[in-house]
Amino acid sequence: MITKAKESEENMYDCVIVGAGPAGLTAAIYLRRNGLEVLVVEKNAPGGQMINTPRIENYPGFPYIDGASLALSMYQQVKDLQTPFLFSEVIDIRKEEDFTVYTKNQEIKTKTVVVACGMKHRTLGLLEEEKYIHKGLSWCSLCDGALYKGKDVAVLGGGNTALEDSLYLSKIVNKVYLIHRRDSFRAEHYLVEQVKKEKNIELCLREEVQSLQGEDHLEQITLKSGRVLQVNALFEAIGFEPNTNFLAHLGVLNASGFVIVDDEGKSEVDGLYAAGDVISKKVRQISTAVGDGAVVATHLAKRIQSCHLQEM
């Protein structure tokens, strides 16, 4: 549903922002504060990956905060600027003189676009993964952790997400097996040290998942070493990949599907910008996504305002 969005095609937006994670929400704040007509399109809940993060400890100003609260606070700040939201999935973007953004049910006209749609979680690619979704297999410890109170679970991965998930779950479940394919972690040192201190987290290093078993619900995981873990849940935290198929025809993606932009967030297509985890870059954090959103919107606001002046 669009809240207070323009209904006439003649009423074109200055900018449509695709994605309401930290990059998109920050861009919306900067553009609205510059008086520009903005629509934010989001296919899920506002906040992006933040809403699945149990505890954030490295976002300045908040020694610790849960991701859902930070997401809600950012969303409210954008809403307070009378910014319309459309909760729908963007399936295509076409450019003629201006842009048309297509969702399943609507065509939205806009002068510029900011792609800030983040990434989707990676899966192992095992045939049986489908069978155990909502039956023991999860990508969200915050959403599903409480279902396994007092039970044994496994977390897969060696990045910040896997270690944060393990710490969060260790407070709820009986035991966490943290399965990682190497013997060193790419997660922050501070998190690794915390995990090592938890008595109910067992590190299963240089191990990979071979297969999942269980009648109607996950009951055990067989590792490639042959070890079998009796667990009620597996939380996969093996990274993310960009969700950018709808942009493929525009020629703005690198070989891995990330949007290539310059240091102002501009892509090769005039008027198409991108920010946050979806762009080709090395550091993906809430703070860097916020920074990307601010940079893009600052340049974009100047560009749109100079167009408005020329039209006068």
Q: Name the site residues for ligand NAP (rule: CB under 6 A).
A: 53, 56, 58, 122, 124, 156-162, 164, 181-182, 186, 208, 237-240, 284-285
Q: Distance (Å, rounded) from C-alpha 162 to C-alpha 187?
A: 8
Q: How far is the CB of 252 from ligand NAP (least distance, A)?
A: 22
21 vs 271 by CB, closer to ligand NAP = 21
88 vs 166 by CB, closer to ligand NAP = 166
Residue 122: CB atoms within 10 Å: 14
12 vs 126 by CB, closer to ligand NAP = 126
Q: Distance (Å, rounded) from C-alpha 114 to C-alpha 275?
A: 7
238 vs 279 by CB, closer to ligand NAP = 238
Q: How far is the CB of 160 from ligand NAP (least distance, A)?
A: 4
261 vs 289 by CB, closer to ligand NAP = 289
Q: Distance (Å, rounded) from C-alpha 68 to C-alpha 76?
A: 12
Q: How far is the CB of 240 from ligand NAP (least distance, A)?
A: 6
52 vs 83 by CB, closer to ligand NAP = 52
42 vs 164 by CB, closer to ligand NAP = 164
State the Rg of the chain over Cα: 21
Q: How far is the CB of 223 from ligand NAP (least distance, A)?
A: 11
Residue nearest to ligand NAP (CB): 159
Helix/strand/coil (H/E/C) assignment for every residue in 40-75? EEECCCCCHHHHHCCCECCECCECCECHHHHHHHHH
84 vs 159 by CB, closer to ligand NAP = 159
Residue 87: CB atoms within 10 Å: 16
